[in-house]
Structure 1
């Protein structure tokens, strides 16, 4: 038996690849396996090659695999584009309709199954995805009843007749391939799963759930890949808690609506990708100047402009840190796992209200859309912290206003909601005094700037730097952010086998930068390698700017739209030694 296996399905977009993957992985999750999925898809609604890859393991892991064990192909293009990933002795399950062939140099076993023909015999070619998934499931020798249950859940809303036909499609695909193979393939039998209950969700869904748990009751947003699933999730969930989602006409409207709703006391968020973040910049400055809470999720994708809207990249870091005009306090945090997406969203709302600043939650496409196993979230640990939101303000004397921007020792002023008796004050985007009245007085300007910019002097989020038990003086310190962490950890296992000691730090608080916490680890490391999905080494730039030690810091960059593979990171690390 084997401890892990990699499975991929490919075809034309709109051909059922996504639903096949969903049912296949749902059934595996029911059995208790750990899963890590990644979608390669076109920016077109229909047409263009797409594939979904799932890594299946008996133990936890957080990276896509270097190689592939089973490829399910709906067309020859899927074989030509993906067969090179197959390990020697791998398997291709392909539709016999297109006369599949194995590319030269690929060592694989081909099972040509009449996928489309079987589906058409059952009434519609749309069921070919069930024939294909049934065939590949059968080769693994996994229990049929679990897969059939997943089919029932997928198609149950369409009635028992549709469910029955799809289950029959699974059965026929299974029977045909088993007759060809002579039974399940022993080389692909997975070890028994631990059977523990796990969530199997994408990062965007975890962010949506974190928003609900964190008290968010309004989302204002404009659809954009790869952020749209946050909106779609909250459209279904928020009404159950008295909340709602408003699809605005553009990202400018979305962010200004979020600022206004937060001013009114409703925890509100918006979410977008790089192009939308660019449009929000002026309003982010308004949030900083008026000291209104604001939570934005930026799901990074390939840029600039429309760029690669469905591909992986981490190139918005500088925009998030420096994008607004003028100088305001701002927080940028970067989840590194599905669990982080949930808990960091809650923390973003708390930080935003406690410090009265905009908070940007920085994810990337791989983390936002990659479906992964994770631990069940601890809802009981959630705390709602609203900071200096005050009520019961004494009535004001004639012509007096509430000191909404009062100069305080910690830089955070008391905040009231509209309509609060005794809380009358001005709100304006121009510089103002403690009561909000516009002011161009030089001394007042300096005091207000110092007040705002001093708020975050001591901010340090949970796990601002995340690392395992460190070596005292490692040969190599590897630094990353976002979805790259699991890939780095796998590479380090191979380095350890080679006798190379390494530490791994995931930087989760991007701004304000955790300089004092990171500096000692860089000082002790012989060499430092910063790994990131962009062309200009933006994270490495932050490290050099705040910590120094540029003579020992090197970068490994990837910006072709694809995530890092463990073998690529391993090779880059080896070249450092």
Structure 2
């Protein structure tokens, strides 16, 4: 028996590839296995190669695997595109319909199974994916009944007959493969899982759930990959809590509506990707100068322009930090796991209201859409902090002809906040520079006072932020410090023991607060390392440049990948070994 394996299903988009992976992984999750999944899909509704790679193990794993043990193919292209990942002794299960063939020299074993034919005999060719699930179950030594609760959950609305037909398809696939293989494959049976119940979710769902738990009750948004699942989740859930989602005509409207809702006292968010964020930049400036809380989620994808809408990249970092015209205080947070995405979504609303600033929660496609096993969330950790806003406060009566000092200059830069309808809270709100009462003012003295007030807000944030840098420091004197952001955390962590076996003393720092930048936290780690290596999914080394701008690092080496795919552990391992060897010649 084995502790882990990697399984992939592939075919043409629109022929049930996603549902095949979903059913397979959900059933194993319910048995107590840990899973990590990544979908490769095209930016079109139907057609084009797509695959879903899932790592299954008896221990926590947070990275896509280097190799592949089992490949389920619905067409020849799947074999041609993915065979190079197969490990020695790997297995390909292909639909007999297309006459599957292995490339010359392949060491994998090929089994031709009539997915389509079996499914058609049972009633409809649409169930071929269930036959494939059954064949996979046979290879793993699993019984068909472990899939029953998942099949019931997905198909119960269509009636008991449909549920039974799909279960019949799974069992038929299992029996056919069991007979066909007849013990001719290696050991693919997983050790028994612990049976514990854990969540299995994508980062977008975690963010949406975090927003809901954090008190958000309104989301205006425009659909865009890979952010749309946040909107779709809240469309279903917000009405149950008195909230709502509005699909706007564009991202400009979405951002300004979110600002309006927050001004009225309703916690609101919007979510988009790079192209949508570009349209929001002026509105983000409005949030900054009016000191209205705002939470935005940026799910990074391949750019520029439409770019690679369904592929991995981390190239919005500079845009999110520096993109707005003029100078405003803003916060850019970067969760590195699905679990962090939940808690950080809650914290984003607290920070936005406490500091009265726009907060951008930045993820990447692998984190937004990648599915991970997550331990049960602790809702006791969810705390609502609204800063200097008390809607029940008795405000002092205003003198005749005066207004509430909404933008009063204070020691910490944060003024008392009121919402419409609060007695004696009347004030001006405008996007031009204004005085303490909100009235437009072009006075040089007032301009400096208001700018200084706004810019001092975030002076204490780094010290108050929970773990601005996740530190894995095994050595007081390290040969190498690896730095990353977002979804690369799990991949880097997997590489660390490999490098230690190679004789490299390595520490790891993962940045969770990009702005304001945690310079002191990172400087302390830099001081303990001979070499600093930054791993990031972009072409210009944006994190490396931030490091150079904010710390006294002498030299930074970059490991960059910008082909649309996430890093594999072996890629980071190889590059780090090369850099270590080069530095020690």
Deviation track 1:345-376 (CA, whole Å, cap 9, x = no partner) reads: 00000000000000000000000000000111
Equivalent position of 1:177 in the other structure: 177
Once the 2 structures are TM-superposed, how far is the Cα of residue 493 of structure 1 from its aligned partner?
A: 1.1
Cα drift, residue 75 of structure 1? 0.3
Structure 1 residue 140 displacement after superposition: 0.3
Matched, 1:484 2:488: yes
The SS at the match of 2:187 is helix
Farther-moved stretch of structure 1 (519-528 vs 479-488): 519-528
Query: How far is 1:552 from its partner?
Result: 2.5
2:396 maps to which residue?
394
Separation (CA, whole Å) in 2 of partners of 1:434 and 1:567: 57
Report the RMSD for the aligned CA atoms in angstroms: 0.9
Give yes or no for contact 2:2–2:189 (8 Å, CA) kept in 1: yes
8 Å contact 1:218–1:245 — kept in the other structure?
yes
Matched residue, 2:583: none
List structure 1 runs of 4+ shifted beyond 2 angstroms.
183-186
- Per the alignment, residue 318 of structure 1 pairs with 318
Aligned match of 1:534 in 529, 533, 538? 538
1:132 is matched with which residue? 132
Does 2:460 correspond to 1:458?
Answer: yes
SS in structure 1 of the partner of residue 297 of structure 2: strand
Contact in 2 for aligned 1:259/1:293 (Cα 8 Å): yes
Instruction: Tell me the residue number matched to 2:259.
Output: 259
Corresponding residue for 1:574? 577
Contact 1:526–1:552 (CA under 8 A) maintained in structure 2: no
Matched length? 576
**Equivalents in 2 of 1:564, 1:415: separation in Å?**
45
Q: In the alignment, is the contact (CA less than 8 A) between 2:255 and 2:270 conserved in 1?
A: yes
Aligned position for 2:447: 445
Shift of 1:51: 0.2
Find the aligned partners of 2:158 and 2:184 in 1 and give their Cα distance. 31
Contact 2:144–2:174 under 8 Å retained in 1: no
Q: Is the 8 A contact 1:140 1:185 kept in 2?
A: no
Q: Is the 8 A contact 1:431 1:439 kept in 2?
A: yes
Q: Does 1:73 align with 2:77?
A: no
CA deviation string 1:458-514 (max 9, x = no partner):
102211000124310100000000000110111111001112110000001000001
Structure 2 CA distance for aligned equivalents of residues 216 and 242 of structure 1 = 10
Structural mapping, 1:126-525, within 5 Å: 126-183=126-183, 185=185, 187-390=187-390, 391-460=393-462, 461-525=465-529
What is the CA distance between 1:148 and its match in structure 2? 2.4
- How big is the shift at 1:144? 2.2
Which residue number in structure 2 is paired with residue 557 of structure 1? 560
8 Å CA contact retained: 1:141, 1:185: no
Q: Give the CA deviation at 1:9.
A: 0.1
Q: Structure 1 residues 168-177 or 387-396, which shifts more? A: 387-396
Q: Secondary structure at the match of 2:492?
A: helix
Q: Give me the whole-angstrom Cα distance separating, in 2, the residues matched to 1:234 and 1:553.
A: 41
Contact preservation (8 Å) 1:312, 1:366: yes
| CA distance, structure 1, for counterparts of residue 68 and residue 395 of structure 2 | 65
SS of corresponding position for 1:419: coil
Deviations 1:142-175 (A, max 9, x none): 2321122222222111101111111111111111
- Contact 1:151/1:163 (8 A) holds in 2: yes
- 1:413-466 per-position Cα deviation (integer Å, ceiling 9, x unaligned): 000010110000000000000000000000100010000000001102211000
Determine helix, strand or coil for the equivalent of 1:399: coil
Question: Are the aligned partners of 1:131 and 1:172 in contact in 2 as well (CA < 8 Å)?
Answer: yes
DSSP-derived class of the 2:460 partner: coil
TM-score (norm 2): 0.98
Distance 1:120 1:143 in 2: 22
Contact 1:34 1:60 (8 Å CA) reproduced: yes
Residue 51 (1) aligns with residue 51 (2): yes
Provide Cα deviations, 1:212-232, integer angstroms capped at 9, x if missing partner.
000000001000000000000
Deviations 1:69-105, CA, capped at 9 Å, x for gaps: 0000000000000011000110011000111000112
Could you tell me which runs of 5 or more consecutive residues in structure 2 were left unpaired when the two chains were aligned. Answer: 581-585
Q: By how many angstroms is 1:317 displaced?
A: 0.1
**What are the within-5 Å matches in structure 2 for residues 79-98 of structure 1?**
79-98=79-98
| CA distance, structure 1, for counterparts of residue 51 and residue 383 of structure 2 | 40
Give, in whole Å, the separation in 2 of the partners of 1:151 and 1:276: 37
Structure 1 range deviating more: 497-506 or 272-281 = 497-506
The CA distance in 2 between the partners of 1:349 and 1:360, in whole Å, is: 10
CA shift, 1:183, in A, is: 4.9
- C-alpha displacement at 1:396, in angstroms? 1.0
